[in-house]
Amino acid sequence: MKQALSRKNIWEHLPRPLKKISGHAVGLLPVSHILGKQFRNGMKFIDEAQWWSHEQFKAYQLQQVQQICTLAFEKSTFYRAHFSATGLHPKKIKDLSDIEQLPTINRDTINNHLEHMLTVSPKGLNVDYITTGGTGGVPLRFYIGAERSQVEYPYLISGWQRTGYQLGMPMAVLRGRIVPPDQHGLPHEYDPLLRHHYYSNFQMTEENMGRYLEHIGNLGPCFLHIYPSSASNLTRYMLRHKIKAVQNIKGILAESENVYPEQRRLVEEVFGCRYFSSYGHTEKLVAAAECEKSNNYHVWPTYGYFELLSPDGRAITTPGERGEIVGTGFINKIVPFIRYRTGDYATYIGDSCQECGRAMPIIADIQGHNIQEHLIAEDGSLITWSAINVHDDTFDHIRQFQFYQETPGKAILKIVPTTELRKRDIALMQSNLSKKFAGNLWLDIKLVDKIALSQRGKTIFVDQHIPQEKY
């Protein structure tokens, strides 16, 4: 598992019917029409279901869990043995807590037993093969039904609507898409169906960032759909060049990477609008979106069955306690994921939202549990880079940075300087960081021209080469 939250590239794939439509006239159709009937039904269902009571959610979830467990037991040899080993027959599931009798599974389980976890032949027309995972890490491979996007897209849209987004509003997208230059040399591409403007976040040069902002400034009321690290890059650019907020950007939809409070604060301050985040992952087990009234995430109970577990497998119910997100998905019927440990962590807040009243599990501070986010000190302790990047002037004159580590206790900080960076700034940076590491980590600063993003265009803050199972 290399890059943090790399498998959390939710909503990358748009609903399939889009691909069947061509011709310029579609630009005139309402977007909900283009997205199809299944999408519209999904929206209607979620609009109502999000206000259900605990009892309604529980009844719905029990039925879904019974269904997926029965399917898994009957059609896959892996799950038949898995259930049999615990003595739990799917017919005996009468309460959601009954599935706690099953052991959890993880990425290794899927990778080692994939062929025996299938409920149908993977050669079917509506089955997609997915590989996910960052550079250098062990990828996760599995199969999933091709209709998944139509099921999940309404959840995403419904979350965004909490910020004032409406389907069909223009969207400026900076999310790892390879975008060729247009006739003016700007890496920009327009999708008239969805009214999405794609810009390349692989090419966030000073010149391009200025041009992106200028171009976005002419889109009319719009939203920015962006990786948190790219939002942060743009913000720092605006600060460096004393550029005021782009008034027509009505909200920033930042997801698929860890959200750091300091980044969020700065982006909201500079852009002058709401920074809204959602959580999801390629496995389609758990989805959550922030509240319209707070930054807490509301987990969608109709999307999958969510558990938050302590390292020893205990269900976390104490507000403030952190645990691992474990999911049983309702969407993937090709390879069921039952009690899958996602490797992502969150803080438990409660079982309903005090602000909006939704009776959903409420969690906060979701973080990919990933060594990529940590440096390893001489004594083996982990240092989170976000703790290093506290708000001071250490990083004022640099455009991009990345820690590189091969040996515990030693790391290289690669930086892409701005033209204002002076030698004494480097010395200051070295001394500031040394103070923070307190002798536990020896750091070498290296100036570079460029820092590569991951294949999906995400920022790798810590390029970690120490095998993670050691820590």
Which positions touch Zn ion (CB under 5 A)? 291, 353, 355-356
User: Of 355 and 406, which has the nearer Cβ to Zn ion?
Assistant: 355
Minimum Å gap between C-beta 253 and Zn ion is 17
Q: Roughly what angle, to the nearest 10 degrees, separates helices 206-216 and 228-240?
A: 100
Minimum Å gap between C-beta 158 and Zn ion is 13
Minimum Å gap between C-beta 359 and Zn ion is 10
Minimum Å gap between C-beta 289 and Zn ion is 10
- Residue pair 39/32 in contact (Cβ under 8 Å)? The answer is yes
- Residue pair 6/133 in contact (Cβ under 8 Å)? The answer is yes
Minimum Å gap between C-beta 258 and Zn ion is 21
User: Of 159 and 323, which has the nearer Cβ to Zn ion?
Assistant: 159
Beta-carbon count within 10 A of 121 CB = 9
User: Of 171 and 259, which has the nearer Cβ to Zn ion?
Assistant: 259
Minimum Å gap between C-beta 362 and Zn ion is 7
- Residue pair 315/266 in contact (Cβ under 8 Å)? The answer is no
Pairing, β 171-174 against β 196-199: parallel
Minimum Å gap between C-beta 259 and Zn ion is 17
Minimum Å gap between C-beta 51 and Zn ion is 11
- Residue pair 457/176 in contact (Cβ under 8 Å)? The answer is yes
User: Of 204 and 291, which has the nearer Cβ to Zn ion?
Assistant: 291
Minimum Å gap between C-beta 355 and Zn ion is 4
User: Of 290 and 425, which has the nearer Cβ to Zn ion?
Assistant: 290
Cα–Cα distance between 345 and 348 in angstroms, integer? 10
User: Of 162 and 188, which has the nearer Cβ to Zn ion?
Assistant: 162
Minimum Å gap between C-beta 360 and Zn ion is 8
User: Of 114 and 364, which has the nearer Cβ to Zn ion?
Assistant: 364
Minimum Å gap between C-beta 128 and Zn ion is 33
User: Of 46 and 65, which has the nearer Cβ to Zn ion?
Assistant: 46
Cα–Cα distance between 171 and 181 in angstroms, integer? 19
User: Of 150 and 302, which has the nearer Cβ to Zn ion?
Assistant: 302
The one-letter code for the residue type at 217 is G
User: Of 67 and 294, which has the nearer Cβ to Zn ion?
Assistant: 294
User: Of 353 and 376, which has the nearer Cβ to Zn ion?
Assistant: 353
